[in-house]
Amino acid sequence: MVVNCDQVWREISNYLEGDIDPNLRAAMETHFEECKRCRAVMEGTRNVVELYGDERMIDVPLGFEHRLERRLEESMYPTRRSFMGWMVTAAAALLVTGSYELARSSVLRGKLRSEHAQSAAGIPPDMMVIVSDEGKLFHASGCPFIHDKAHLRTVVAREAIKEGYTPCVRCMKKYLKADLDEWVHKRPTRA
Amino acid sequence: MPEAQTSPNYQIDDPSEELLIRRVRDGEPEAFYELIRPYQRRVYAAAFAITRNEADAEDIAQETMLKAFRNIRQFRAESRFSTWLIQIAVNEARMRNRQTRANMMEPIVEHQDAEGNYIPRDFADWREIPSETLERKEIREKLAEALTSLGDIYRDVFVLRDMQHLSIEETAKALGISTASVKTRLLRARLMLRDLLAPGLGGAWSTRLQFAKGTKPW
């Protein structure tokens, strides 16, 4: 069997695939030995197949795998993500609200140290009172109910309230609101 | 001995894939990561070869994997899982090209005789491939540029068969064409690429390739 250049070009791809009749293959190989141009075409085509078939041909961008997995995760666990998102949002809201409340309470009236404090009224803001570091109440000087005498501080009533101290129900009794109300009722002309 | 009959990069799908697919179907989505890991790069490469745009290729690769995950129950074991993935990626990439680059592709001008056979135009001797060829980014870019200049129908066949190493039959199935058409298009794609690349890669390593100047050899 003898083949010409046209036939070789038509079959060159099948030749490289190995998808060719053995007789035609032999004829083509004979032709390649004799025809420099067809040999160049065959070798160049083979090189094309080799080059493009190499996995180095195309670079994958940096971080590609990570971004792919992240997007898959978003799709696979939408409820988990939305729940997590809700949790994060709720936590953030709580944090903001809590911070605001904390700031507001500490600036305006202080966080109460005692859960059972009674409200008071009419306490002179600049009145000097006694507080202890571990205590909950502020006292008038000389009050017998002052505890922890080793860690006492003297502050103005305004600062004591700001720090969360509440009036001693004994030495500050006259300022307690219940008493004040009673006092107002009893002596309305004073108001 | 034909060089392209067996490729060193050819991957035979792992038999454990079937088990992974079953695990995903049975409600274990974590197994999907393991299932697709060997094919992530190939899916990206297929998308990039067709779109030649990194951002598009990455997005297509992600979309491909998402579609595969959502439709895993539709996967039929008569084809390889990797082929199925590549098929999805190619469809996505072709759709993307139609949407965004319909008018940007330079139409292919084929050099053919009266019977429709492609006739090589360049006979530069190109026997060897230096080992560092693909280490050079500019060479890879030239290869990508040459691939882009092919018409869609040739490029798609070439990408699936010679870059993704699908068989002729798998390529035909993926593209919905006959095996005869695959062979015809593959022949032309290979010869056109050789014509584009041989003058530069055959020796002129330090000079610009001819087609890079806008002069196509056919």
- Whether residues B91 and B37 share a domain: the answer is yes
Residue B33: both structure tokens together: 């990561």
Do A159 and A168 touch, CB atoms closer than 8 A?
no
Residue B144 lies in a domain: yes
Range of the domain at B145: 133-213
Quick check: B44 and A9 CB within 8 A? no
Residue B66 lies in a domain: yes
Mean pLDDT value of segment A113-140: 80
Residue B24 lies in a domain: yes
**Where do the structural domains in chain A lie, given as residue ranges?**
5-56, 69-109, 128-190
C-alpha–C-alpha distance, residues B167 and B147, integer Å: 20
C-alpha–C-alpha distance, residues A46 and A38, integer Å: 12
Q: In this predicted complex, what is the ipTM?
A: 0.75
- Whether residues B75 and B143 share a domain: the answer is no
Residue B69 lies in a domain: yes
Residue B21 lies in a domain: yes
Q: Is B172 on the interface with A (CB under 8 A)?
A: no
Question: What average pLDDT values come out for chain B (218 residues) when binned by 10 residues?
Answer: 38 70 90 92 92 92 95 84 91 86 52 64 69 76 87 91 91 91 94 87 51 45
Residue B1 lies in a domain: no
Residue B113 lies in a domain: no
- Whether residues B94 and B143 share a domain: the answer is no
Mutate to test the interface with B, among A3, A41, A48 (most CBs of B within 10 A): A48
pLDDT tens per residue across span A89-124: 677 666 766 555 544 444 444 566 765 566 677 888
Please give the distance of CA A77 from its chain centroid, rounded to a whole number: 18
- Whether residues B147 and B96 share a domain: the answer is no
Domain count, chain B: 2
Is the per-residue pLDDT at A125 higher than 70? yes
C-alpha–C-alpha distance, residues B59 and B65, integer Å: 10
The pTM assigned to this predicted structure is 0.61
> Which residue, B52, B79, B100, sits at the end of a domain?
B100
Nearest to A75 by CA among B24, B83, B103: B24
CATH number of the domain encompassing residue B67? 1.10.1740.10
- Judging contacts by C-beta atoms under 8 Å, the chain B residues touching residue A22 are none
Mean pLDDT value of segment A172-181: 63
Residue B11 lies in a domain: no
